[in-house]
Amino acid sequence: MPYEVKVNKRTANVELLSREGHHVLIAVDGKEYNLDFEMVGKGKYSILHNNKSFNVEVIPGHTIKQYVAHTSKSTFHVDIVDAESKYLENRFKGQEDEGESTIVAPIPGRVVKILVNKDELVEAGQTIIIISAMKMESEFKAKKPGRIADIKVVEGQTVDARQVLVIIEDAIEHS
């Protein structure tokens, strides 16, 4: 299964193609690399590629999908971007336009509960909708005060990633 991996500001698609003992075949953006990869201590790895040796120390970062990798010459910030991390990153984000805030499903899921009605006034931080995805229920809240302009889903409905769920307009527009 391929992963998006952000190393500093570069994003690459990385896929483990095969593994036999210490021999690993990976693809980075489609280019294959044969590596001799061995853990030599807690968080410390020895990697051989084209008769060159690299020693890497990997330290967990602020979240479960973030790391800091140290080599003898450089330090790299590494983020693993998979469906779960995209979901967590986008959990409270909406797509904002002038005068409106849109709550969007970050990944596929099921609408568990809609806690508002169309035309209802809501406050910033108020829970609007609850979605079940990846065996977790997540609350999506209004990012700013406003009026529920439209509810695009119903309870029990299965939703796709990036599907618009609720549109909130500035309350000033329709007062």
Residue 146: exposure state from Cβ atoms within 10 A (0-12, 13-18, ≥19): buried
The predicted model scores a pTM of: 0.47
pLDDT in tens, 26-49: 999 999 999 999 999 988 999 999
Domains and CATH numbers, the chain: 3-81 (no CATH), 94-174 (2.40.50.100)
> CA 7, CA 164: separation in Å to the nearest integer?
31
pLDDT in tens, 83-133: 666 665 665 454 444 456 888 887 788 999 999 999 999 998 899 999 988
> CA 79, CA 9: separation in Å to the nearest integer?
10
Nearest to 22 by CA among 42, 1, 48: 48
Q: Judge whether 146 and 171 are in contact, CB under 8 Å.
A: yes
